[in-house]
Amino acid sequence: MSTQAHRLEGIEMIRIGILDLQGDVSEHFKITEKSLKNMNIESQVLKVKTASDVSACDGMIISGGESTVIGKLMEKTGIKKEILTKKIPVMGTCAGMVLLSTKTDYEQSLLGLIDMKVKRNGFGRQRSSFEDEIEIFGGKYKGIFIRAPYVSEVGDDVEILASYQDKIVAVAFGNHIATAFHPELTDDTRIHEYFIKEVLNCVE
């Protein structure tokens, strides 16, 4: 029996939900399945469209898109309330990072799960999309930035996982993780696997 399977003794399986309200979430779906397979974890990946979908999840991923729109829809559907009530780990990428923050430079509905202030479209519109090498978990990583935000302030207990050009672009806080870039557009499962470990820590 593998280590992971052993760790899961007594737990039927874990369920990771991908928020599916706006934008294309299929890449997150695929890389989450790949990460769970790599880790040999019995699991299900679900698309989350309603508050009751959230109740089936042990952890959730919020992808890129338009954070103002996703935020409004999360309120309207009751998904926001359910996430906050259930207190499950959440991973957010790009717009998902914005939604996890406590503060942005704009008036919008936020989950407020990571003690940080985020600057939306922080890398400027003229450089709205770019790829560059960053460093994370002590190794190189392909950062894909699309109208990406950056973190301008963090609370004391927020762990900075990566910076790019002196700007914070990946953080962890409690069991939550947020990246300004798009790990789902790479083949690299390290960030998803990091999040899945956080989910496992919560279900054990």
Closer to ligand GLN at the Cβ: 105 or 157?
105
Give me the active site residues, please. Answer: 94, 182, 184
Closer to ligand GLN at the Cβ: 121 or 152?
121
Residue 72 interacting with ligand GLN (CB under 6 A): no
Q: What's the min distance (Å) between Cβ of 94 and ligand GLN?
A: 3
Tell me which of 146, 185, 202, 203 binds ligand GLN, using CB under 6 A: 146
Q: What's the min distance (Å) between Cβ of 101 and ligand GLN?
A: 10
Closer to ligand GLN at the Cβ: 80 or 120?
120
Residue 95 interacting with ligand GLN (CB under 6 A): yes
For the segment 111-130, give every residue that binds ligand GLN (CB under 6 A): 120-121
Residue 64 interacting with ligand GLN (CB under 6 A): yes
Q: What's the min distance (Å) between Cβ of 63 and ligand GLN?
A: 7
Closest residue by Cα to residue 92 from 168, 28, 45, 13: 28
DSSP the chain: --HHHHHTTT---EEEEEE-SSS--HHHHHHHHHHHHHTT--EEEEEE-SHHHHHT-SEEEE-SS-HHHHHHHHHHHTHHHHHHHHT--EEEETHHHHHHEEEESS-------EEEEEETTTT-STT-EEEEEEEETTEEEEEEEES--EEEEE-TTPEEEEEETTEEEEEEETTEEEESS-GGGSS--HHHHHHHHHHHHHH-
Closer to ligand GLN at the Cβ: 8 or 31?
31
Which residues of the chain form contacts with ligand GLN (CB under 6 A)? 64-67, 94-95, 98, 120-121, 146-147, 149
